[in-house]
Amino acid sequence: MFPKIITFCCNWCAYPGADLAGISHFKYPVNARIVRVMCSGRVDPGLVLEAFISGADGVMVMGCHPGECHYEHGNFEAERRIKLLQYLFNKYELGAERLRVEWIAASEGRKFAEVTADFVETVRKIGSFQEKAKEVLEAMQDTFYGERLRLALGAANRALSSGADGEKYEETLKIIAEEEMNKYRMLQTLRKEGELCVRVVAEKLGLSLRETFDCFLDLKQEGLIEEVKMGEDRYVVYKPL
C-alpha cells in the first residue's frame, strides 16, 4: 500500500522545518503532501475529515512547540481537536493512528523527516479504510460542522482560562460529540432509506429507543425531519426534509 498523507504545517515553525528538511536533503516519503496554514489552530476538524472523505489515508497536523505559538494557544486548540477526532475514530473503528499532532520547530528539519517517515509507515500498516467508512466520516463531518459542537470547542480556551476543570471539559466534549454523531447518523439513515420510525432506526444503529427519540426531537426542532404518520406498531414515522 502507498498511503496518501496530508500534513498541515503552521507557517511559523513546522513549515520552515519542512523547508529545512528539503534544503538539508533529509529523506522522507514523497506521498506526504504539505498544506501550509497560518496556525495549526486554524485547521478545522471538518477540513481534516474532508481530506479523509476525498481519499487521504492519514492526516497529520504540525505546529509550534507549547509556549511558542505565535497566536498564543493555537497549537493547544489543534491538539484538543485532534484528540477528539482520535476518540471518535477509535470508537467507530476507523483507526485513531490515522491522525497525529506533532510539534516541530523551524530548526528541526531532521525531526520533521523522521516523524513524517514514521507516520507514513504507521498508516501503511493500518491499510485503507473499509467500504462503509465514508458514511461514518460524512456523519462525523456534519457533527463537527454542527452548531452545538462548534460552540463547545470554540468556548474551550475561555472556559479553561476561567478555571474550568480540563479533564471534565474534555469528557464533556466527548459526550457532546457522541450525541451529535448519533443524531447525524440517524439523519443520514433517513436520507438513505426514506421514511422510517424511531424503533427501526434504533435497531439499525444499535441505540436505545430513548436515545433515538431524543435525537429525533432535536432533528425535528432543527427542521431537518418531519412526522409523516403513525406506524402500525404505534411508533411515529419520520422523513428527512
**Given this model, what pLDDT does residue 1 score?**
74
pLDDT tens for each residue of 95-110:
999 999 999 999 999 9
Span 167-176, pLDDT tens digits: 999 999 999 9
- Both 105 and 174 in one domain: the answer is no
Q: Does residue 41 lie within any of the structural domains?
A: yes
Q: What is the mean pLDDT of the chain?
A: 95
39: cell is: 496556525
Same domain flag for 111 and 178: no
Out of 75, 110, 132, a domain closes at 132
> What does pTM read for this prediction?
0.94
List Cα–Cα distances, 29 to 21, 33, 35, 60, 99, in angstroms. 12, 9, 15, 14, 17
Same structural domain, 89 and 128 = yes
Asked whether residue 210 falls in the same domain as residue 104, the answer is no
pLDDT at 235: 84
Same domain, yes or no, for 118 and 162?
no
Residue 45 lies in a domain: yes
* Among 65, 87, 86, residue whose Cα is nearest residue 76: 65
Examine the domain organization and report whether 151 and 119 are in the same domain: no
Same domain, 125 and 209: no
Question: What pLDDT does 232 receive?
Answer: 73
pLDDT in tens, 25-66: 999 998 999 999 999 999 999 999 999 999 999 999 999 999
On whether both 99 and 150 belong to a single domain, the answer is: no
CB atoms within 10 A of CB 127: 11
Instruction: Taking the CA atoms of 22, 27, 32 and 37 in sequence, report the sign of the dihedral they define.
Output: negative
Q: Is residue 100 part of a domain?
A: yes
Query: For residue 161, what pLDDT is reported?
Result: 83
Do 153 and 103 belong to one domain? no
Dihedral-angle region of residue 72 (phi above 0 means left; psi in -120 to 50 means alpha; beta otherwise): left
CATH number at 185 reads 1.10.10.10
Last residue of a domain, one of 82, 108, 132: 132
Query: Are 128 and 151 in a shared domain?
Result: no
Q: Please tell me the total count of domains within the chain.
A: 2
pLDDT at 231: 76
Instruction: Residue 104: give its domain's CATH number.
Output: 3.40.50
Listed as ranges, residues in the chain with pLDDT below 50 are none
Domain that includes residue 235, residue range? 146-240
pLDDT at 131: 86
Q: What is the pLDDT of residue 215?
A: 96
* In a shared domain, residues 151 and 215: yes
